[in-house]
Amino acid sequence: MIKGSNVALVTPFKNDKLDDETYIKLIHFHIKNGTNGLVPAGTTGESPTLSHDEHERVIELCVRESAGKLPVFAGTGSNSTKEAISLTSHAENIGASGALIVTPYYNKPTQEGLYQHYKSINDKCGIPIIIYNIPGRSVIDMSVDTMARLYELKNIIGVKDATGDLNRVDQTLKKMGKDFIQLTGNDDNALEFNKRGGVGAISVTANIAPKLCSEFQKFSIMSDEKSISEAERLDKILQPVHHSMFVESNPSPVKYAAKLLDLCNDDVRLPLVKITDPTKETIKKALLSAKLI
């Protein structure tokens, strides 16, 4: 249902308001350039500073414009269970393929609290749910055992793993088997992640290099020697780009890269700010090395 290169879509702004026209163009850019799935309203889409109406709007536009050509897994997480249910229900009602739901940030729930949070969403909604485990932003870390409990529920189908711990792939595969979808949230570890049993990524870099990212994912998921060799070649091209995307806080770097490619401007909402000149040079060099500019 969801595998390969899935883009964590940026949200373009113009005069601090949603730039619908540019956003629609971005969606069609990905449809035409090999992206395997769309993930609107996530962290890369600046969901923390979107109003509720804006949050729903970017998901609606994504579902409408993709028109079933690509799966849309909408970012509908919140540290309020009631709010997450509301956002997920909205995504379901407008035809999203599924939901990406982040572990509740700031509240620091226990493992039982995490279980009950996702179970409540599962019980109130009817679309597939990908758990988004990102301790670096949420502070809490969902255990493999908690994920295994959640996998017994009807709608929980996989995880976006942004722990950076590749051993988690092995542990999760052993506990839940191959049908539990494992996607990395770290572009830079995608090769090894897939070698261990992952089936793709929810990618920041895919915003600016959709063809490269989708080709890399296609080959890295295959197990034959020739495909792995090609995946390794593409990974070497992409690594400088991946690293440049996180020199400063995401999504400021990727929005600047998108500006260089005439995809959108580099406006971000406070408390994020535009990147510094040294970071701009790092990104330009990375894009040049990958022949993206």
> What's the distance, CA 64 to chain centroid?
19
Q: Which amino acids are annotated catalytic?
A: 132, 160
Domain 4-220 has CATH 3.20.20.70: yes
pLDDT of residue 138 exceeding 90, the answer is yes
Give the pLDDT band (50/70/90) at residue 223: confident
Query: Tell me, what's the pLDDT at 169?
Result: 98
pLDDT of residue 115 exceeding 90, the answer is yes
Q: In the numeric block, which tokens belong to residue 113?
A: 């609290």
pLDDT of residue 206 exceeding 90, the answer is yes
Per residue in 145-185, pLDDT (tens digit) is 999 999 999 999 999 999 999 999 999 999 999 999 999 99
Query: Tell me, what's the pLDDT at 1?
Result: 79
Average the pLDDT over 208-232 and give the result. Answer: 96
Q: Are 114 and 146 in contact (CB under 8 A)?
A: yes
What's the mean per-residue pLDDT of the chain? 98
Task: Give dist(CA 36, CA 3) in Å, integer.
Answer: 7
54 CB neighbour count, 10 Å cutoff: 18
Query: Tell me, what's the pLDDT at 155?
Result: 98
Cα torsion 215, 258, 92, 66: sign: negative
Query: Tell me, what's the pLDDT at 29?
Result: 98
Give the list of residues 6+ apart from residue 240 with CB closer than 8 angstroms, or none: 285, 286, 289, 290
Sequence letter at residue 105 = Y
pLDDT of residue 203 exceeding 90, the answer is yes
Per residue in 85-104, pLDDT (tens digit) is 999 999 999 999 999 999 99
Give the pLDDT band (50/70/90) at residue 221: very high
Give the pLDDT band (50/70/90) at residue 260: very high
> Of all residues in the chain, what percent carry a pLDDT higher than 90?
99
In the chain, domain spans: 4-220
